[in-house]
Chain A
Amino acid sequence: MIVFRNDRSGPFTHAPNSVRAVMVTVMLALTPATLFDLWLFGWPAVFLFTVTVGACVVFEAACLQLQGKLLLPALGDGSAVLTGWLLAMTLPPWAPWWIGVLGAVFAIALAKHLFGGIGQNVFNPAMVARVALLVSFPVPMTAFTLPRPLFSAGAPGFLDSLSITFGHAVGLDTISAASALGTIKTELSRGVPVTQSMAETPDLLHMLIGLRPGSMGETSALLILLGGLWLLHRKVISWHVPVAMMTTLFALGALFHAVAPDRFTSGVFQLVSGATFLGAFFIATDYVTSPVSRSGQVVYGFGCGFLTWIIRTFAGYPEGVAFAVLLMNALTPLIDRAFRPRTFGRTRAGTPLPLPPRKKP
């Protein structure tokens, strides 16, 4: 007699999605910007990128092994690769190899697995790694260079690049250049008004296209934006976090720039400089560390934008996205508690709805 499986309850159909599909889609969205940046900064950037992503995968495997967990399918879901990718996008392109490896340790072992593995981390692993590196090694982490596109005249060759990334060739043919935000902050501290220093930074169009110094995620703002919009179209992320974050940044920038243009940068500048687009579309929208409800996400986006602007304007570091995201990550559980959807048939407080007044026919 044939006996059928009755071990599981329904549903007996499933959407054709998976965690790996989501990760791959995000990676595809990042690809144009990444390829552009790798070309822009040449071989050293390629090596750093490879080392960072590779180190993340290796440490992920090591952590899984240490915990006695199965390597597959955990290793195959693409989360470690994506973390490494995002981390590499926030590093200075000509940073030495050990920055990438240490970053992988911070991101994968500390921020992810020590908290319980995928889905359990409180803080965004890539941002934890970036901030830890920034605070521990301020000089290598702020040594941005002018773009030296691959195969162009001033670009280092393959072997020279090896020595830049793996050797001690820092200072060899590198001309340090600060990012736009960094320039403005330093000039401001020297008393130079914003309007003047803004004139010295690359104009907005160049910032958008990306032919300027900065980390990989900072430079190709336009391509990141396009990638982010594509993610929205594919419904991998929803519009709530990016729109809230960017609107807040723009609004604060525009408002304060109108009031005191010498002290505050404009709204558009806030949007196109730094890692705003990368942060809004790829970092702050990280599933694990952002709130689950749509209303909570709006609050979270607003908080990220607000804190980014505060840190950029008043704090000691020129770029505030990483810190802002980490601070809002800490608030995510609270936001989740406060901003829940309303249950069908109940009020927001949880009591059953009152019966509507009935008229006797």
Chain B
Amino acid sequence: MKLFRIRGGVHPDYRKERTRENPIIALPMPRILCLPLKQHVGAAAKAVVTSGKRVKKGELLARASGAVSAPIHAPTSGYVVDIVDQTAPHPSGLPQKTIMLRSDGKDEWGELPAGIADPFTADPGEIDARVAAAGIVGLGGAAFPSAVKLGLRVGKTLDTLILNGAECEPYLTCDDRIMQEHAEEVVDGARIMAHALGLKRLIIAIETNKPQALDKIRAAAAPFAGVVVVGMPVRYPMGSERHLVKALTGLETPAGKLTADVGVVVHNVGTARAVHQAVRFGRPLISRVITVSGGALSEGRNIEVPLGTLVSDVVAFCGGFKNGTIPHRLISGGPMMGYPLPALDVPVIKGTGGILALTREEINEQTAGPCIRCGTCVTVCPCGLVPMEMAAFIRHDKLEAATKAGIRDCVSCGSCSYICPSHIPLVQYFNYAKGRLNALDRDQRKQERLRTLVEARMARIERQAQAKREAAARARVAKPPVVATNDAPAGDMKVSA
């Protein structure tokens, strides 16, 4: 199949050999699970259980709230300890509402809906409903509710579903192992999604540094027409949705639009497997595979982790940190786009792709120097931007100039920061700028709203004043002023109106 060229990109040291050959192991069910109500893009789920409620495995704990949301289910049987604010698995360390579940050790399944016997004759709406009810979100890290993405068939002309098996981040091998060990489930889930979207064309894209996965998926897809398995050139960020679409179809998604607007929907291989489990067996999303790796960790593993497991339990299962030393940084996700975790007692959530305990040498972070205008960042930027220029604007607080230079088109892939010889933290400038611009937008909207309220109040006061004046005028007409009596002093004649 013809592939198209992508601009830029880098070739980081992938370091996948540490966990590439490790098969997926299931983590023994931990005692405590902490499930945040918001593990996805969109509105937080609303809890339907209260403190003390006994739940079975797979039971609904929180329902989706609004159009873009996802429900949360119990990863095991036990009882709800409490619903409190707990530290979120987020660099800020801020708290969020979390359901604390204590397992009773029995791991009993609750009542599950029956699987759809033949998904390929079922109504797409029914498949949507199953995926939504199962709480499935994009497991590639974006955590966007998958049912909403499947609903894109309404209103958009689609023709291709691409399954993203690129896994271009260093260290991470979870998608690789899922494709090797559960190839049939992945292909089945992908075909179900293609049917739900009404598509005939399904492309499964896998980077060529995963030869066994390519073989296994090819074998699993062989019986089915309409499924094409493509080996992608190894390059970061080949897994970026827009760039993957361009590489495979040559179509460039216009700025501000979705890939669905050019007819393509992209899903992660882990999501496809979850869809298979939900549609065929009625199982909700209650666990996911993650890669735990890093130079500061005793043993790297690929683990199937129940959602809500604390990172401390995961790390302990991997033998703890090497020689008991504390890693320089603890990262959630991959090293390029992942974010630092503040502590060990934060949970693994639907969007967590990996936990990395990195040493100082692995990170290779150094004091930033001045920009020497070498232009390497311009060469590697997959979005065709000029990072050094944007960073210079942001450094001087010229956010409007940065917007004109294209900061909103940046996907924060990190290629520029990776390659900068002066070790300038370019992506942090861009993340700061995007956050600040969003904050300014919010302020602007709030000010407009307040202005409307002020005007409404002025109008109200004016109305009340007007009503008072009218009432006074009517009163003057109805009741004439008091006429002078004979007691009035002479010469003091008042004439009635």
A327 beta carbon closer than 8 Å to chain B? no
Q: Is the CB of A12 within 8 A of B342?
A: no
Using Cβ atoms and an 8 Å threshold, which residues of chain B touch A356?
A: 251, 262
Distance in angstroms between the alpha carbons of A3 and B341 in the assembled complex: 9
Stretch at the interface among B24-32, B384-392, B461-469: B384-392
A5 close to chain B: CB less than 8 A: yes
How many residues on the B side are at the interface (Cβ–Cβ under 8 A)? 77
Q: Could you tell me if A3 and B10 are in contact, using CB atoms closer than 8 angstroms?
A: no
- Are B375's CB and A292's CB within 8 A? yes
CB distance from B371 to the nearest CB of A (A): 5
**Counting CB contacts under 8 A, is A8 at the interface?**
yes
Please name all residues of chain B whose beta carbon is closer than 8 Å to the beta carbon of A11 when the two chains form the complex: 335-337, 414, 417-418, 427
Contact partner, A16, options B344, B364, B367, B375, Cβ 8 Å? B364
- Tell me the bound Cα distance from A5 to B326 in angstroms: 11
Give B171 Cβ to nearest chain A Cβ, in Å. Answer: 9
Instruction: Select one of B243, B253, B329, B378 contacting A12, CB under 8 A.
Output: B329
Give A258-313 interface residues, CB cut-off 8 Å to B: 287-294, 297
Q: CA A159 – CA B371 in complex, angstroms?
A: 44
Min CB distance, B199 to chain A, in Å? 9
A315 at the interface (CB under 8 A from B): no
Q: Which residues of B contact A293 (CB under 8 A)?
A: 375, 378, 386
Flag whether B204 is at the interface (Cβ < 8 A). Answer: no
A13 and B336 contact, CB distance less than 8 A: yes
Whether the pair B335, A12 counts as a contact (CB closer than 8 A) is yes
B225 in the interface (beta carbon within 8 A):
no
Chain B residues with CB below 8 A from A3, complex form: 342-343
Query: Quick one: which of A12, A288, A345, A354 has the most chain B CB within 10 A?
Result: A12
The winner among B243, B340, B381, B385 for most chain A CB atoms within 10 A is B340
CA distance A3 to B256 in the complex (A): 39
Looking at the assembled complex, report how far the CB atom of A53 sits from the nearest CB atom of chain B, in whole angstroms.
Answer: 20
Give the complex CA separation of A74 and B370 in angstroms: 9
A361 to B358, CA, bound (A): 50
Binary CB contact string for chain B from 157 to 178 against chain A (1 if under 8 A, 0 otherwise): 1010000000000100000000
B93 in contact with A6 (CB, 8 Å): yes
Considering the complex, give the chain A residue whose CB is closest to the CB of B256.
Answer: A352
Q: Is B255 an interface residue (CB 8 A)?
A: yes
**Bound state CA distance, A290 and B329, in angstroms?**
38
Contacting residues, chain B, for A120 (C-beta < 8 A)? 370
Bound-complex Cα distance A9 to B430 (A): 10
Q: How far is the CB of B303 from chain A (nearest CB, A)?
A: 20
The reply on B399 being an interface residue by CB < 8 A is: no
A and B contact pairs by CB, cutoff 8 A, 6 listed: A8-B425, A11-B418, A19-B369, A119-B373, A342-B384, A346-B406
Residues of B within 8 A of A (CB): 7, 10, 12-13, 91-93, 157, 159, 170, 242-243, 246, 251-257, 261-263, 326-331, 335-345, 356, 358, 362-367, 369-375, 378-379, 381-386, 388, 406, 409, 414, 417-419, 421-423, 425, 427-428, 431
Give 18 A-B pairs besides A4-B329, A5-B328, A353-B252 with Cβ atoms closer than 8 angstroms: A1-B344, A3-B343, A4-B343, A6-B92, A9-B91, A9-B425, A10-B340, A12-B329, A13-B358, A13-B362, A14-B365, A18-B423, A22-B374, A117-B370, A287-B374, A344-B255, A345-B255, A352-B254
